[in-house]
Amino acid sequence: MTLACADSEMAEELQGQLSTGTLRLYRTTDVIGAELGGALKNVIAIAAGAAIGAGYGDSARASVITRGFAEMVRLASALGAWPETLTGLSGMGDLMLTCTSNQSRNFRYGLALGAGEGFDNRATVEGAATGRAVAVLAPKLGIELPVSGLVAGLTEGRIFMDQALDILLNRPLKEEWVAQPAQANMIAALA
């Protein structure tokens, strides 16, 4: 797990007190990054679930997770988070689990959306509200978040799965994001 605390000395003390033989905590002072990683992964989990629920398969889910992760990093960076925080447990770790586990409410909600089925409206699905908030925030920050925007449209009933797929596949073609030298060094240091 990730322990986020702005005070590095306090974080180290808490890490020592809370870690056990079966619970290992990693610490960071990037509270914004840890918070955003924990929130944004729910949006992408809805999209991943919708891809599976619609019958698009695991390759589509992998694409959604990968492109969704790029959106998470883009938004978190724009809000002052450290991009490397998103490569850790509170970003990529949470994202992988939430996008592949049937125990995830957000993933199950996406499954239902993709299959055109109802979902228990008493269940908490954090990603739906987060997706709507992100869709409003992204244009103000001047960044594109197509997967998150489509999740907002799906959860609000403004678009349907066939439309979402068409929108994604008809976006302008472009080069895939590749780590720049500073980012590549950061990724190598994490390995």
Segment 62-104, tens digit of pLDDT: 999 999 999 999 999 999 999 999 999 999 999 999 999 999 9
Q: Look over the chain and give the mean of its residue pLDDT values, rounded to a whole number.
A: 92
Is 41 tagged catalytic? Answer: yes
Q: Please determine, for residue 137, whether its predicted confidence score (pLDDT) is greater than 90.
A: yes
Give the pLDDT score at 178: 59
pLDDT in tens, 167-176: 888 888 888 7
Give the pLDDT score at 54: 96
Alpha helices in the chain (DSSP H): 8-18, 31-53, 58-78, 94-100, 105-115, 126-141, 146-156, 161-169, 181-190
As a whole-number percent, the residues of the chain with pLDDT over 90 amount to 82
Give the pLDDT score at 170: 85
Q: Given CA atoms 53, 97, 165, 145 in this order, what sign does their dihedral have?
A: positive
Give the pLDDT score at 183: 58
Domain spanning 31-190, CATH class: mainly alpha
* Contact call for residues 155 and 46 (beta carbons, < 8 A): yes
Q: Please determine, for residue 189, whether its predicted confidence score (pLDDT) is greater than 90.
A: no
Looking at 2, 39, 41, 53, which residue is catalytic?
41
* Distance in angstroms (rounded) separating the CA atoms of residues 32 and 50: 28
pLDDT in tens, 24-60: 999 999 999 999 999 999 999 999 999 999 999 999 9
Band (pLDDT 50/70/90 cuts) for residue 145 is: very high
Predicted structure pTM score: 0.89
* Contact call for residues 61 and 52 (beta carbons, < 8 A): yes
Band (pLDDT 50/70/90 cuts) for residue 182 is: low
Six-digit token string for 56: 């698009």
Domain ranges of the chain: 31-190
Q: What are phi and psi of 79, to 5 degrees?
A: -100, 10
Six-digit token string for 138: 């992204």
